[in-house]
Every structure is written in structure tokens, then in C-alpha cells.
A and B are shown apart, each in its own frame.
Chain A
Amino acid sequence: MGIQKDRVRFNVGGRVFETTATTLANSGRNSLFGAMFNENWDLQPNITTTEHFIDRNPDCFSVLLDLLRTGELYIPSNIPEKLLYREALFYGLLDHVRTAKWGPFDGNRLHLARSITGRAPGDGTAIRAGPDGGCCVAHGSMVHVYDWMLEEHPPITLDYQRVNDAIWVDSESIVISACERLGRDDGGMGLFSSSTGELRYKFHVSHENLVKSYTGGALSFNSDYKLFSSCKGRSNEYGVGVWDQVTGKQIDFFYEPQGWSLGDADKLQWLNGTNCLLVATLFPRKDNCYISLLDFRDKSMAWSWSDIGAPIADERRVRDAIAMEETNSICVVNEYEDLGFMDLRSNNGIVRWSSRSRLMKGKMPDEPCYPKLALHGGQLFSSMNDSVSVFCGPDWVLTSRLRNSHGGSICDFSIGGDRLFALHSDENVFDIWETRPLSII
């Protein structure tokens, strides 16, 4: 072999490291090493005699060098994670660290990575996973934002109004919707920076060319840069508003038809295949559940379902709904975590219930939380009391159950950035579930 031509010698904070230009090339062009050994800078890496001095922590350098060599992240117990993150940021290797920390999401291989105890009073409203592993938690009138390192950022408020929903439009921006207070032009919907918590834009609703104050409800957006929100206006302007994310202007409004509910909706979901918006009202004023698919192109309801006429005390009251486009169906769940399925191709209003957990009825906790549903990578997730169930396959077989020993019932959960976040109602705790990266050995 002879002497390797591409050997590089570093002196980091007094400790000498030797590596190869090939290893350093793994760091990519957008890193300190990528820039350093670019031909623009006359630093030829094959000069083994010269060493490059870097005035940084040698312990962390060794961990990061190991990461570049193997692609695996191993943090010794004597190095705080935060320290390592800071050093990685210096070298421009933070993205490498993040991708090495946890693997691609798989509901059946999740492990509890951490539990974070928040400082907000009272019950949480919602938790939303960000696109790159961070999350935000809505609590009363505040939204707390955490990045993927679970560092807390300045919180977000919209005039300290009660927050109804929050949504990440990209890794830098969060939209939150809040209640309005009588007689004041506040509440509504705003776009915030996730890193600084600043309000960057406030979305307006106008009816007949007049700007109205309103209460923003459930949120959703699509890949066409449209933002949707259920809205309740002052004078019966109920419905679903549509905004353009680029211009920030309101571009459409779907008024609530007589005898139906849209403005109170608890869940919006955009369906790419049919170009429709799923609107589900499950805890309405009028004591009935309404699920509909709105087609904004011709202002019609492409599909609808309601439990009008069913007995009020029906144990099969729908508590959450999610559309599954692959199978052309809508999955619903009742308060005993029975799953039900409706066919999107017919309007016959039939729900096929799969009663798998009749047993649940007897042993409900004192303070139950209603189940929630999520769909990710062909796996269906449903939260119930203190655990999250994972269902797979064409018949939605129960394959895994995630449960943390403390924190009480789960009031909301969210999947994103290859992580699952579960928010507990009792003690203001949220859990982070991750898939371990595939091991080399």
C-alpha cells in the first residue's frame, strides 16, 4: 500500500488527530471541512507534515470524527449532548448528528427517547410534530416550541388568546389559530417564526369586503401553498376559509350550509388524490357529528356523513376521523377505541365497526381522554387513555402498543420528522418516541 497520499493531520485543542481526506469528504461541501479543503483555499490535504490547528474541544471532535468515519453516532456519557450539538454546529455537522440520532420512522420499532416536563399550567390542548424533529405544544393561550434537540424556543402567543390549533407549515414557521375576545380585534390566525416566536403575519377574514374578527379553529394546508382554517365569525359567518400562503390573502370561503357544521370543525385534512378537504365536526354545539369532503372548485360537498337521527347516548359516537386515500375510506373511532370504516366512494352513511375491544367499556379511567387517530406510512395510530396503539396491514391488525409509565392519559399525539410525540393531560408531560437507527453490527 505504501504511505496513503490523502492523509490529514489535525491539532484540535492540543490533541492531534489523523484522518483521511476521504473521511472528511463525508461531511459534504456545506461544512467547515468541505470549505477548508476546497481547491479555492490552497490547503492541500496530502501534505502530511503540516497539521491544521483548530481551536475547539478535542473530545467532541473525536466523537464527530467517528461519526464521519462510520456514520454512527456514539456519545460517551461524559459528554453532555448539548455540548456535542454546539460543536457540531460549529463544524456544520449538526444535520449529520440529527440524521444519525434516530432512524426512519416505523410504528412497530419505536422506543421512548425522552419525556419532557413542561412548565405550563393546566391541560395541554394539542401537540404538533415539526418537519425536522422538533415539536410545538399548545397550552391554554401559549404555544411552546421545541427544536429537534428539544431545546425550548421563545413561546408563541396570539394576544394571549386561547389557542385552538397549531400547525407547522415548514421548519421555520408555525401557524396558530386562537379564539377572539368579544369587542376586540384579536384572536384569529397568525404566522410565527418557530425560532424567535415573532408574529410575522396575521391572516384576515373578510365578508363582503369588510374585514371581520373571527375565531380560528382546526388548521390544514396543502402542497399548493393553500392554508385552510375553520372559522367562526361574529355574525354567523361560519365556514372554512382558504388563504394563499405566499401572498397571505384570503382567497376563498366555504360557507356553512343550513343544518350542517363546518365552522366548529375539530379536524381538517387535505386529500391530494381527490383535491378535497375533509372537515370533521365531532364535538359540536348541536350535539351531532358531521364529516364532509369539500370540493372548493365547484363549492360542493363531494361526500358527507352525519349521525343525525342516531340515539344521543349511542356508544358508537364518533370521536375522531381520518381519511385514508389509499383505501378510499374514512376511519373513525369511538370513545372505547372501536375502529369504524366508511367508504368514500358511496354516500350510503354506513359505518363498518370492527368491535375488537368491548372489554374496554368496563375499565375506563376516572378522567378519560377521547381517542385520536393518525396515519403514517401505511400504519394507523390511535391513542386511548395512556397508550398509543399501532395498526398495520389491510385489516388493520393491532401490532404494537406504546405506553409510558407516568403522565396519565394521552390527550393528543402527533407524528412528524420521524418522531412520535405524545402529550399527556395529567402532568404536563410529553414523550418523544423514536426508531433506533439500524446498527452496523
Chain B
Amino acid sequence: MSGAKKRNFQIEAFKHRVVVDPKYAEKTWKILEDAIHEIYNHNASGLSFEELYRNAYNMVLHKFGEKLYSGLVSTMTSHLKKIAKSIEAAQGAMFLEELNRNWTEHNKALQMIRDILMYMDRTFIPSTHKTPVHELGLNLWRDNIIHSSKIQTRLQDTLLELVQCERTGDVINRGLTRNITKMLMDLGPSVYQENFEKPFLDVSADFYRVESQQFIEHCDCGDYLKKAEKRLNEEIERVSHYLDARSEAKITSVVEKEMIESHMHRLVHMENSGLVSMIMDEKFEDLGRMYNLLLRVPNGLTIIKEVMTSHIRETGKDLVTDPERLKDPVNFVQELLDKKDRLDKIINLAFNNDKNFQNALNSSFEYFINLNPRSPEFISLFVDDKLRNGLKKDKEEDIETVLDKVMMLFRYLQEKDVFEKYYKQHLAKRLLSGKTSSDDAERSLIVKLKTECGYQFTSKLEGMFTDMKTSQDTMHGFYDAMGAEIADCPTLSVQVLTTGSWPTQSSSTCNLPPEILGVCDKFKTYYLGTHTGRRLTWQTNMGTAVLGATFGNVQKELGVSTYQMCILMLFNHSDRLSYKEIEQATEIPPSDLKRCLQSLACVKGKNVLRKDPMSKDIAEDDAFYFNDKFTTKLYRVKIGTVVAQKESEPEKQETRQRVEEDRKPQIEAAIVRIMKSRRVLDHNNIVTEVTKQLQSRFLPNPVVIKKRIESLIEREFLERDKTDRKLYRYLA
């Protein structure tokens, strides 16, 4: 409001009243004028305050307020002009001292003058909208001293020189400087800004432009950042010591602009010391400094993020496409996990856990992990390894953290259904061979997968666990029911697997030895007797057996697979058998048979069979003998079963094929779901929607989607719109 008041006010001519003594006003003013002189000359002790106050009161009362006021202005002005001369005359360093001393004295005098004229200040000045005495004194000081031509530039230069001295390491009189800047602030923000702040910022910008240029030429990135940080802190400290607090943001922005923003590209990309090498060398402190400094300037963090992202992507790409590493899946995944750990640590320690950086890290991992189509398989193999062996070394909680980390990698996968395929296979093998070392760990991972992808994803996996449990119960029931009847037979353990829950294996049955066949048939009868309407098929390719064997006179126990058992049982009746004979008797598929024979005859230390000729490979016309010279220190010998391993090329193709086949119904289901709710939709939108719906499991190929749409049209779920061929219609 005050602005409006002043702007629109006009001083009117004052209407004088006739006073008895025409010289009354002159006389009274003379007394007050003298008093003001005395105050400026430090002779106030001789004055009577009461008398002066009363005289000023009387002047206002008798309508001489205008005279009093204008008298005050001219008297004070003439004093200030004298003061200006004495300040101008001050030599060198005395200049600021003189200015400061006079400023203190002026303030004191102003206070005393205001005391005398208090009544005028309270009544006459508000009603005439004049400037109050104190403010008037400051304005006059500003106009006559600060804005005097001989003082203004000198003051400004002196102050800037002091700052420059301090920047180059000299010690200055901060107290005096503070008093002077305080004076400028007291005179109003605009005075401070015009006479000091603006030139200060300009000079600072020049200074730091030159200095940063020198630094960037001679320092490496880490050193440069240290220096920039130091300068920044110095400026903040300077503001707190002798500048207006509001200058802090302005001067720091100057330093930020000159020292950081103009060189940030060069700094981040600096050869051998920039961001990339800091990340490689894990220089947390330097990285933290870079983050904090670049945080201050626009786009600073974007640069860090971009460089970091491209670095991660490049190194990640090298990692996942390196053919050497592909040979060891477990190590491959371990490397990924280590890389992630390293980068997480950097983001945590140096980048303040910045969400943007975490996102960039995640998207980079997602990018390069999916560059290798075998990543899902490898991750599953890694889990397999951990769940088979890892537990022995690691403690329980460590397994949890490993699993959590694996889940993190799993999240990056686009083809989650491929992972599911492999995981199912590997889990089946673990379960059937009794190799899982911790049920809790298995279940905990399933729970994690369930949280991540929903229950559909894990329902079959859970079904596998249920089957294992039910089979155990069934076996108890079987033995309870049969009792003595089968006491003489070999001990049988059957796992009844629900079709569909388990990975489909080509059901290549073999001829079981008659000893086993008997008890198997008994079980079949028992099982079908208790469960009606079921079919049982023997999956001989997945079983295991423990055999007692006598080598010479030594009794041993052999742990073997079902196939191997079938082969070994043949040697109960003859000591020599040819490959053909074995194949005929057992009907084991050739590839499996060869592998079995290899593990029985060619592995050193476990060669319970002898082969003729003694070559590494199995040929069709080889002959096998029972090796009664077989010796070992162990009582129980475990013949190597075929372990889950990286798939061979044709197997891989086959899995791929199966995955593609499995995807078809899922894509079709998604299309039908979408069309059912939308009724009419064009091709591009269907593709987008389908991709959106399925991306939690895999990334459907648009070509495949198109094929599925065509197939649905053929089967009359959809039709093309008659007029617009791009549109599809849902047929209920």
C-alpha cells in the first residue's frame, strides 16, 4: 500500500496561521539547528533534551512542521557533504576505516536527532506522508556519501580488491568489511546490489572462468573436482562472514556455472580420470564429489547418468557375448551378480541412492542381459548349482540373499517363460534325483517367483512339490498294504508324477529286469486299485537304483541310474555282452545307452565294466566284460548320472521350439481376451495391447501375433471388417 500512497501524494502549500511572535519559528528553529550541529560535533552533553523536545513539539503544534522538516533536510545534507569530503580525503587503507567511523557516528547522531524530533515523527510526518526521520537520514547518507562520484567507485573497487586478496590467500579485516557491507544492506537491498553485489558477481565470474580454464588444463578430473569443491565452500564461508545471506545462492550459482557447468562434459569424459575410470577403480569419494557438484547444475546428473549407462551397457554387452564366458554358465551369472553388486555399491555410497541412477542401472542390465538369448537358461542353471551344492558352503541366510539377487536378474529377463521352461527341467531333475539340499530354499524361491509373476507361473512348479509329497505317502501305504508279500523283493520307491506338471520327456521305456518288474507290477495294481481312472507310465529314464555287487570277494554298493541298473543286471547272467546284445535286451534308446555305458566303462575309478577295445568312445561293435578286478576304497560307489548341464545345440533348438509352441495359445488367449472387451480394434492396437498383457512373461514377436490373428480368423473367432481391412471384429 505504501507505494500507492507515496506515488499519489502531492505536497500542498501549507496554510500558515498568524502567530503572535513573527520571529517565533525562526528563533525556535535556530535553537534546534544549533543542537543538530552540536550533536554532529559530539558536544551533545551541553544540551537539554527536554527543552529541545519541547521546542520541536511547539513548532509542530504551531504548524511549523514543514519548516522544521525542510530545515532538518538541509542541515543534515550540509553535514553529510562535509563528511563526504573527509572520507574522500582518507588515504589508501584508511578509506574504509574512515567511512565506517563516520557511518557509526552518523547513526548515533541520527538517533539523537530523531529523539528530539520524535513528536514530529509521530504526528506531522504520517499525516503529510513524508519520509520518517530515520529513513530520511539513511537516504541522505546514501545520496551524499555512497553515491558521491568520488566515493562510489572507490568503495566498490576497494571491496572487490579485498575479496580478490582473500581468494589469493591473503588475510583481510573481515570485521571492517562486514561493517561496510552491512551499511550497504542497511541502506536498502538495491543499494547493496547496485554498489556491491552485481560488480562482485561479475568479477567473480571472470575470476573463476580464468581459474577453471587453468585447472582443467593441468589437473585430472578428481583433482579438479576437489578444487571446485574447495572454491565453492570458500564462497559460502565468505557469505556467512561478511556478505548478505541472500548473496549465497547468487555467488554459488556463479561458481557452479563457471567451474562446473562449462567444463562438465570435459570432466565426465576425461581420459583416464573421468567417470568411467572412477567407476572402474571404485573411487567412491571422487564419484560422490562429482555427483554432489554436478547435482548443482542443470543437466549435470543427466550427463553422469548417460555416461554411466553407456559404460554399463558396453561392458555388460562384452560380458554376455564373450564366448569364453558362455562355457561356464554358473560363473557367467556370478559375474553378472558381482557387476551388479559393484554398481549398486557405487550408487549407494557415491550417488546418494538416487532413484534415477537406480533406474538407469536397471534398464542397462535389462538391455544387455537380454542380448544373450541363453540368459534365462544360465540363470536357471546358476540356481540349480546353488540349490544342489551351494547350501553346503553357504549359510541359510546367504542362500536367501543369493536367491534375492537372482530374482533381481530374473526381473530383467524379457523371456520369463523360457526361464520357466528351464527351471522346470532343472527342478524336476533335482527333485527326482533327490539332489535338492534344502526344501526351504526351494520353496522360498518359488514364493519369490510367485510374488513376481503370479500364481500361474508357479502352479506347475508347486504341483511338482505336491507330487513328491504324495508319492511318499503312497509308498508308505503300498508297503503297509503289501507287508510280507513283497519282503523278498528289491525295495521299490515310486514317484507318481502328474502329467503336465512335469517337463515332458520322450517316454522312452526300457525293459526292466524281471526282479524289478514283479514288484513294479504289484505297485501298479496297488496304485490303480486305490486310484480309479488313472494311467501309469514308467519313466525309466529318470529313476535311480542302488545295487549290491561283489568284485572278487569284495562287497560293494553301487549307486546308478535305472538304465545303468538294467545294463548291470544283465551281467548277473553272463560276463561278456556285446553292445548289440545289451541294446536288444534293454531297449534303451541308443544315445542314452551310449552315455550309460560310457559312465560304466570309461570313467576312471568307476569302471565296473571293461570294454573291448579300450577306447574312450562307445562303438556299435564293442564288447563289455564284468570287471571283477574293480577296486575302490569306498564301500558305496556312485556312478555318475547324467547331470543337468548346459544344453547341447539340438536340445536348445528343441526347448526353443517348445517355448514357441507354448507361447501360441497364450498369445491367442490374450488376443481373444482383448477383442472380447473391445469388440473392434485395428491391428496395431491389438499388437500393442497383447505386448502389454504378456510382457511380464515374455516379449511376443509382432510377426507371431499376426500369424495368431490369422489363425483365429480361420477358426472364426475374428473377422476382418468389410470396409476397413485394418480393423478386426470379434465374433461371439
Contacts and interface: CB of A to CB of B under 8 A. Distances in A.
Interface of A: 30-32, 35-36, 38, 40-43, 52-55, 89-90, 92, 169-170, 172-173, 191, 193, 195-196, 200-201, 225, 245-248
B5 A200 contact: yes
Given A36-B49, A40-B111, A41-B49, A169 B118 contact: no
Contacts of A55: 50, 54
A247 B3 contact: yes
Given A35-B53, A36-B49, A30 B118 contact: yes
Interface range, B side: 20 to 34
Contacts of B3: 246-247
B68 to A, nearest CB: 16
A40 B119 contact: no
Interface in B571-630: none
B115 interface: yes
A54 B8 CA distance: 40
Contact of B9 (A54, A200, A245): A200
Interface string B114-126: 0110110011001
A89 B60 CA distance: 12
Given A35-B118, A247-B3, 11 more contacts: A35-B53, A36-B53, A41-B115, A89-B122, A90-B119, A92-B118, A92-B119, A170-B1, A172-B5, A195-B127, A200-B8
A90 B122 CA distance: 10
B4 interface: yes
B266 interface: no
A35 B122 contact: no
A245 B1 contact: yes
B45 A42 contact: yes
Contact of A172 (B7, B111, B126): B126
B4 A201 contact: yes
Nearest to A43: B49
Nearest to A42: B45
A173 B8 CA distance: 13
B4 A200 contact: yes
B118 to A, nearest CB: 6
Contacts of B118: 30-32, 35, 92
B115 A246 contact: no
B343 interface: no
B57 interface: yes
B44 interface: yes
18 contacts: A32-B53, A36-B53, A40-B44, A40-B115, A41-B47, A41-B49, A41-B115, A52-B50, A92-B118, A92-B119, A169-B1, A172-B5, A173-B1, A191-B8, A193-B129, A200-B4, A201-B8, A248-B8
A187 to B, nearest CB: 19
Contacts of A89: 119, 122-123
A251 B74 CA distance: 41
Contacts of B111: 38, 40
B712 interface: no
B226 interface: no
A158 to B, nearest CB: 15
Contacts of B54: 55
Nearest to B112: A40
Nearest to B121: A30
B108 interface: yes
Contacts of A52: 50
Given A53-B50, A92-B122, A200-B8, A35 B1 contact: no
Nearest to A55: B54
Nearest to A243: B4
Contacts of A38: 111, 115
Contacts of B108: 40
A68 B186 CA distance: 33
A92 B118 CA distance: 8
Nearest to B119: A90
Contacts of A43: 49
A43 B51 CA distance: 13
Contact of A54 (B7, B44, B50, B126): B50
A415 B127 CA distance: 25
Q: Which 8 A-B pairs have the closest CB atoms?
A: A35-B115, A42-B45, A200-B8, A201-B8, A246-B3, A40-B112, A41-B49, A248-B4
A54 to B, nearest CB: 6
Interface in B628-674: none
A201 B127 CA distance: 16
B4 A41 contact: no
A246 B3 CA distance: 6
Interface in B1-56: 1, 3-5, 7-9, 44-45, 47, 49-50, 53-54
Contacts of B49: 35-36, 41, 43
A53 B48 CA distance: 10
B65 to A, nearest CB: 14
Contacts of A196: 127
Residue of A92, A169, A200 ringed by the most chain B CB atoms within 10 A: A200
Contacts of B8: 191, 200-201, 248
Most buried by B among A40, A42, A43, A53: A40
Nearest to A40: B112
A30 B121 CA distance: 10
Contacts of B57: 90
Contact of A191 (B4, B47, B112, B115): B4
Contacts of B1: 169-170, 173, 225, 245-246
A200 B127 CA distance: 12
Interface string B95-118: 000000000000010011001101
Nearest to A90: B57
Contacts of B53: 32, 35-36
B217 to A, nearest CB: 52
B4 A247 contact: yes
A190 B9 CA distance: 13
A36 B47 CA distance: 11
Contacts of B123: 89
Nearest to B128: A196
Contacts of A245: 1, 4
B664 to A, nearest CB: 52
Contacts of A54: 50
A221 to B, nearest CB: 10
Nearest to B108: A40
Nearest to B53: A32
Contacts of A225: 1
B31 to A, nearest CB: 15
A42 B50 CA distance: 12
Nearest to B109: A40
Interface in B115-165: 115-116, 118-119, 122-123, 126-127, 129
A94 B118 CA distance: 13
B545 to A, nearest CB: 78
Query: B9, B115, B119 — which one has the most chain A CB atoms within 10 A of its CB?
Result: B115
B441 to A, nearest CB: 55
A74 to B, nearest CB: 25
Greatest chain A CB density within 10 A among B1, B111, B112, B126 is at: B1
Nearest to B57: A90
Nearest to A225: B1
B672 to A, nearest CB: 44
Nearest to A95: B122
A170 B3 CA distance: 13
A195 B126 contact: yes
Contact of B112 (A30, A41, A92, A200): A41
Contacts of A92: 118-119, 122
A31 B119 CA distance: 9
A200 B12 CA distance: 13
Contacts of B45: 42
A94 to B, nearest CB: 8
A10 to B, nearest CB: 10
Nearest to B47: A41
Given A30-B118, A32-B53, A195-B126, A173 B5 contact: yes
Nearest to A202: B8
Nearest to A191: B4
